[in-house]
Amino acid sequence: MGDSPTVNDPLAQVIELLHPRAAFYKLVTGRGDWAVRPPGGQPFYAAVLDSQPQLSVAGERPVLLGRGDFVLIPAARHFLMSSSAQADDQALSDPAELGPGVFHIGEPGPFNTRLLVGYCTFDSDDTALLMSLLPGLVVVRGDPRLSTLVELLDEEARAERPGRNAIRSRLLEVLLIEAFRATTAAAPLPGLLRGLADARLAQALRCVHEQPQRPWTVADLAREAALSRSTFFERFNREVGMAPMEYVLSWRMALAKRLLLERVLSLDEVALRVGYSSSSSFSAAFIRREGQAPGRYARQKAHA
């Protein structure tokens, strides 16, 4: 999505590399008992405008939502959204389309539920890696900024204005960043948010993202975090979910892929940008990681 961010912000950089795109939006109204079980093939988000629906996501405890709440399921997972804790599969409804982008579920008649919902896609070859750094379910209570962003996305989806796709992509990227940073509860699983919540590890993570070209070692990163090498290594593994140098390598390769696809820099320049002293050492590392040479990877993607 353009030039690399200059702000030393790992979360923003991870979301930028995910390259989110808006796939589908709709306003959903409901009445009475209802339940919907979307196919779960894409990342999903919703803003609750009225009522208190319940969300049940596979592998998570059910969550009762309220007016002004925002929910994000970044990875494709199966889930059930219903009018209440009492509504289950027996109340499954097929949404009826009332007009362009407007659907109704449950009983006919005046609605008592309103939701803004949408799906997005991530155009990154490293989606699985990047998503593993983020929580599988984000619930933000009563944040008006998120509701406003969803409404802006909805407006752009309906309007036939120049630059609509670019605006939608930017708004979606901001929406995801806002959703993750507005999460007040500690991330339940290891990942980037848990690492950033630890002040010592956050300093090391920022260094890696700000200077991927530096020849980092565990000892170097431990010094940046003001921890002993062994303490840093154990803490990083526990909070982020992977070893420090595995994170460094993964981040370098994710950056390298984008640089290769931009086709602006030479192979030597890409190698230096992501921490390798020569194109040969970079190519060897890339082949070990991706199973093909950098040039071949770029050519295949250009013709895909």
pLDDT digits (tens, 9 = 90+) for 173-226: 888 888 888 774 555 678 888 898 899 999 999 999 999 999 999 999 999 999
Q: What is the pLDDT of residue 174?
A: 87
Q: What is the per-residue pLDDT across 139-176, written as a single tens digit (0 to 9) for each?
A: 888 888 888 888 887 777 667 788 877 887 788 888 88
What contacts 185, CB < 8 A, 6 or more positions away? none
Virtual torsion, Cα 169, 179, 49, 79, nearest 10 deg? 90
Separation CA 255–CA 233 (nearest Å) = 23
Separation CA 37–CA 82 (nearest Å) = 9
Separation CA 14–CA 72 (nearest Å) = 16
pLDDT above 70 covers what percent of the chain?
93
Q: What is the pLDDT of residue 1?
A: 38
Separation CA 110–CA 120 (nearest Å) = 30
Between 12 and 283, where is the model more confident? 283
Separation CA 223–CA 203 (nearest Å) = 10
Q: Give the predicted TM-score (pTM) of the model.
A: 0.76
Which residue is listed with tokens 């494709």?
Answer: 76
Q: What is the pLDDT of residue 76?
A: 67
Residue 175 phi, psi (nearest 5): -60, -45
Separation CA 284–CA 278 (nearest Å) = 10
CA-wise closest residue to 115 among 202, 28, 4? 28
Separation CA 164–CA 24 (nearest Å) = 14
Which residue is listed with tokens 């991870």?
Answer: 14
The answer to whether 175 and 45 have CB atoms below 8 angstroms apart is yes
Query: For residue 287, is pLDDT > 70?
Result: yes
Separation CA 151–CA 268 (nearest Å) = 45
Q: Alpha-carbon Rg of the chain, whole angstroms?
A: 22
For the record, the structure tokens of 135 come out as 């929580």
Q: How many helices (H) and strands (E) does the chain have?
A: 12, 11
- List the domains of the chain with CATH numbers: 10-181 (2.60.120.280), 192-302 (1.10.10.60)
pLDDT above 90 covers what percent of the chain?
36
CA-wise closest residue to 274 among 262, 254, 256? 256
| 102-106 and 63-64 strand pairing | unpaired
Q: What is the per-residue pLDDT across 67-113, written as a single tens digit (0 to 9) for each?
A: 889 898 887 678 889 988 777 667 788 888 998 888 999 888 888 88
Which residue is listed with tokens 């709440």?
Answer: 69
What contacts 221, CB < 8 A, 6 or more positions away? 204, 207, 208, 232, 236, 244, 248
Query: For residue 272, is pLDDT > 90?
Result: yes
Q: What is the pLDDT of residue 211?
A: 94
Query: For residue 8, is pLDDT > 80?
Result: no
DSSP state of 40: -
